[in-house]
Amino acid sequence: MIKVKNVWKIYGKGEAKTIALKNINLEIEKGEFVMIMGPSGCGKSTLLNILGLLDVPTKGAVYYKGRKTSSMSENERAVFRRKIGGFVFQQFHLIKTLTALENVELPMMLDEKDKTYRRRKAKKLLKMVGLEKRINHYPHQLSGGQQQRVAIARALANDPKIIFADEPTGNLDSKSGEVVMNILKELNEKGITIIMVTHEQELTRYASKIVKLKDGEIVEIVEK
Amino acid sequence: MKIDDIVAFAFKNISKKRTQSMLTIIGIVIGVLAMVSLISLGYGVQNYIKEEMMKIGSNKITILPMKQFGVPPSHYFTKKDVKAIENVKGVDAVMYGWYGGCEIEYNGEKKFVSYYYAKPSQLKKVYKGSGYEIDEGRWLSDNDKYACVIGYGTAHDLFNREIKIGDVIKIKDKKFRVVGILKPVGNQQDDNSVLLNIDIGEKLFGNEGKYNFITVTVKEGEDINEVANEIKKALKKSFGSDDFSVLTAEQLAETVGSVLGVITIFVVGVAGISLLVGAVGISNTMHMSILERRKDIGILKALGAKTTDILAIFVVESGFLGLFGGMIGLILGIVLAKFVESLAHKFGYLMVNAWISWELIVGVLIFSFLVGVVSGYFPARSGAKLNPIETLRGE
Ligand SMILES: Nc1ncnc2c1ncn2[C@@H]1O[C@H](COP(=O)(O)OP(=O)(O)O)[C@@H](O)[C@H]1O
Ligand SMILES: [Mg+2]
């Protein structure tokens, strides 16, 4: 479903030049649970952002279902992020001035869904992540684990095919982390492709494929 | 994103940061306040003067011995000119005389007033129904000599002790008995006045046989502009030059109106500058607010917002900030104008009026919304161009 061909990402020029990704080649099939692993600064987030069309490669190409996405216009990429991908971040990145319900509604608002549909769907999603009693809470009134579950509900709002998760358990205690991982696992069982960045070894038990990165290069791909 | 959602989203942002929003719009509030009160009072005065001029009479023509207001006349009308005007077809009554300023003495105090003299019977005829009406006592008669009628202000406001009918005032050391007091007309110059019979006035001020104004009433059914033209022709012959002006009430109102119009443009210009300062303020705060919300912009982009969605959210937000500023400024401006109006009325300046209309209200609101939109546009555009990865990294 996703094909990465000879992708490079280079920041800066001359002395300050950083090679974040070096000649990456990768294929991801529908329904996989992919984990991108490696030490801090090895390029995991950079790779995930490129896969999720939040960023563009310096060199090389990315394809989604045979379509070259790396050369799409900014607007076309926005449509992809809205309809096909859903992002979950380590820092949750909820909008602080909006309630849980409104945060989940936001991607549907961007997709011009009507109000009653949005409300219903957002409530359903929050119920699914076990937060039906917290829908009118603001982010600061929620624990980290709860915030991350809101973020997952938000990522699911427009029925994405792929979830891009950048260290979703990185800021959570192990118990909340497990809740989050179990939700992702369930989603994967329903057919949603999960691409997740982590550096926690014990989480690899959820993965169907592990991509190991070091200094911007793929050192190993493990299929399970 | 749909427009109603954009509006709702912008509203949410404004109401969540009420204090900051309030500070942002102070500039707009002050600008609009200044503009509304100045326009309101400017047009109010203009309208009042026009109305008053029309009241003075759509059948009256005023003839002055100079081409323009404010220029001292080089020569004056004489009996010959009066005769020439009296012979013009369509002319009904002709009043001629002099107006000027002088000092009057009462109860040991000396005050400056404006004086008019003309033939009392003509004065009465020409000014009938023009607001110059007797409040107390009687009108002058043609036989009166050392008698006078005084304005409302002269009687009640000018001196420590109010002047009553039968009291004596001194003009140029001559004693005059007050026989009548006029009703207030609303402007100080006319209310602080003294009216004399021409027979005595001429001698007193040493202008015998010279007149610095002539006022004519036109017979019913005559075209006033035509009569005015005929008067011009006749006067040119007898006066020997065209250094005079023949004004109908309408023209008079227009002349005064255009002078006030210039003043209005000036004050609106000043208000406009303060509004511009307000706009710079909004622009600046929008810029800060967008910097603060860099992360939100990144989140919105990650969720698939188009650049134009983000631009629209911020532009609408600053548009509404402008609109709110405009609303508050409008209300305060109207309150201020009304306050000035009531204060002025209390002191007898009936000409000061607050003019408020739907055009003014709607115009000001649209204008302040646009000021907000324009001042929010550039910071919003730079915000919309932010790279989401940059804004989401770190912490
Ligand atoms: N905008 C940027 N400018 C310069 N260097 C960057 C930028 N973004 C990331 N990098 C560098 O690229 C490398 C990979 O970063 P990242 O993908 O965030 O690593 P990871 O997620 O594996 O910790 C790091 O060395 C980082 O410093
Ligand atoms: Mg990272």
pLDDT (tens digit, 9 = 90+) per residue, A172-207? 999 999 999 999 999 999 999 999 999 889 999 999
Task: Give the pLDDT band of residue A60 (cuts 50, 70, 90).
Answer: very high
Residues of A in contact with B6 (CB under 8 A): none
Beta carbon of A41 within 6 Å of any ligand 1 atom:
yes
Is any ligand 1 atom within 6 A of the Cβ of residue A39?
no
Q: Which residues of A touch B307 (CB under 8 A)?
A: 74-75, 78
Q: B48 pLDDT exceeds 80? A: no
Minimum CA distance residue for ligand 1 atom 27: A41
Based on its alpha-carbon atoms, the radius of gyration of chain B, rounded to whole angstroms, reads 31
Task: Supply A166's token pair.
Answer: 């950048």
| Confidence (pLDDT) at B70 | 59
**Best of A13, A15, A18 for a ligand 1 pocket test (most atoms within 8 Å of beta carbon):** A18
Q: Which amino acid is at B378?
A: F
- What integer pLDDT is reported at residue B57 of this predicted model? 67
For residues B150-175, average pLDDT: 93
At residue B38, does pLDDT exceed 90? no
Q: Which positions in chain A touch B305 (Cβ < 8 Å)?
A: 78, 82, 110
> What amino acid is encoded at A90 in this protein?
Q
* HSE toward the beta carbon, residue B34, CA cutoff 13 A: 18
Task: Please determine, for residue B55, whether its predicted confidence score (pLDDT) is greater than 70.
Answer: no
Mean pLDDT of the region B274-290: 78
Are B216 and B94 in contact, with CB atoms under 8 Å apart? Answer: yes
Tell which one of A8, A11, A15 to mutate to probe ligand 1, the residue whose CB is within 8 A of the most ligand atoms.
A11
Please tell me the predicted confidence (pLDDT) of residue A76: 94
Q: Do B297 and B13 contact (CB within 8 A), yes or no?
A: no
CB B163 within 8 A of CB B191: no
End-to-end CA distance of chain A: 18
Q: How far is the CA of A164 from the centre of ligand 1 (A)?
A: 17
Closest CA–CA distance from residue A87 to any residue of chain B (Å): 7
Contact predicate B353/B47, CB 8 Å: yes
A82 touches B: beta carbon within 8 Å: yes
What is the pLDDT, as a whole number, of residue B291? 81
Q: What are the chain A neighbours of B388 within 8 Å (beta carbons)? A: 54
Which of ligand 1's atoms lies nearest the C-alpha of A166?
Answer: 21
Atom of ligand 1 nearest to the CA of A18: 5
Name, of B144-148, B217-221, B289-293, the range with top average pLDDT: B144-148
Residue B131 vs residue B354, higher pLDDT: B354
Query: B59 or B69: which carries more pLDDT confidence?
Result: B59
Per-residue pLDDT reduced to its tens digit, B342-374: 888 887 677 788 888 898 899 889 988 998 898
| Weakest-pLDDT range from A124-128, A146-150, B39-43 | B39-43
The number of the ligand 1 atom at minimal distance from the alpha carbon of A47 is 17
Q: Give the model's pLDDT for residue B46.
A: 77
Give the angle subtended at the CA of B125 by the CAs of B120 and B126, to the nearest 5°.
Answer: 100
- Chain A 133-152, CB below 8 Å of chain B: which residues? none
Alpha-carbon distance values, B338 to A85, B36, B175, B333, B334 (Å): 60, 11, 43, 8, 6
**Residue B98 pairs with which residues in a beta bridge?**
B117
Q: Write out chain A residues lying below 8 Å of B295, CB-based.
A: 93
Q: What is the pLDDT of residue A159?
A: 95
**CA–CA separation, A57 vs B235, rounded Å?**
92
Name the residue among A93, A97, A107 with its Cβ closest to that of B304: A107
pLDDT at B288: 82
- Under a CB-based contact definition with an 8 Å cutoff, are residues B378 and B316 in contact? no
Instruction: Check pLDDT > 70 for residue B23.
Output: yes
How large is the average pLDDT for residues A64-92?
93
B290: pLDDT confidence band, cut at 50, 70 and 90? confident
pLDDT at B148 > cutoff 90: yes
pLDDT for the residue B272:
78
Quick one: pLDDT at residue A43?
A: 95
Whether the complex's predicted ipTM is more than 0.90 is answered with yes
B22 touches chain A (CB under 8 A): no
For residue A44, give both structure tokens. Answer: 């995991």
**What pLDDT does A128 receive?**
94
d(CA B200, CA B144): 9
The beta strand positions in chain B, using DSSP E, are 60-64, 91-106, 109-118, 134-137, 147-150, 168-171, 174-182, 193-197, 213-218, 245-248
Q: How confident is the model at residue B238 (pLDDT cuts 50, 70, 90)?
A: confident
pLDDT at B383 over 70: yes
The A59-64 sheet, strands edge to edge: A18-28, A2-11, A59-64, A67-68
Q: Which residue has the higher pLDDT, A105 or A13?
A: A105
Centroid of ligand 1 to alpha carbon of A20 (angstroms): 6
Residue B227 CA to residue B49 CA, distance in Å, equals 24
Instruction: For residues B112 and B194, give the distance between their C-alpha atoms in angstroms, rounded to a whole number.
Output: 10
Mutate to test the interface with B, among A58, A101, A109 (most CBs of B within 10 A): A109
Question: How far is the C-alpha of A31 from the C-alpha of B371, rounded, in Å?
Answer: 52
Q: What is the mean pLDDT of residues A40-53?
A: 95
For residue A58, give the ligand nearest its CA: 1
Look at residue B261 and tell me whether its pLDDT is greater than 80: no
Cα pseudo-dihedral A158, A161, A164, A169, rounded to 10: 80
Task: Tell whether A49 is within 8 A of chain B (Cβ).
Answer: yes
Closest to B214 in 3D by CA, of B98, B121, B100, B128: B98
What is the mean predicted confidence (pLDDT) over B198-212?
92
The alpha carbon of residue B24 is apart from the nearest alpha carbon of chain A, in Å, by 19
The region of weakest confidence among B76-85, B101-110, B268-277, B301-310 is B268-277
Ligand 1 pocket residue status of A43, Cβ below 6 Å: yes
Which residue CA neighbors atom 7 of ligand 1 most closely? A11
Query: Does pLDDT of B119 surpass 90?
Result: yes
Q: Decide if pLDDT at B395 tops 60.
A: no
> Chain-wide mean pLDDT for chain B?
86
**Confidence category of residue B327, pLDDT binned at 50, 70, 90:** very high
Q: Do A93 and B298 touch (CB under 8 A)?
A: yes
Mean local confidence (pLDDT), B262-290: 77
Tell me what the mean pLDDT of segment B218-237 comes to.
88
User: Residue B376: its pLDDT value, please?
Assistant: 87
pLDDT of residue B293: 82
As a whole-number percent, the residues of chain B with pLDDT over 90 amount to 38
**Token digits for A29?**
């099939």
Q: How far is B292 from chain A (nearest CA, A)?
A: 12
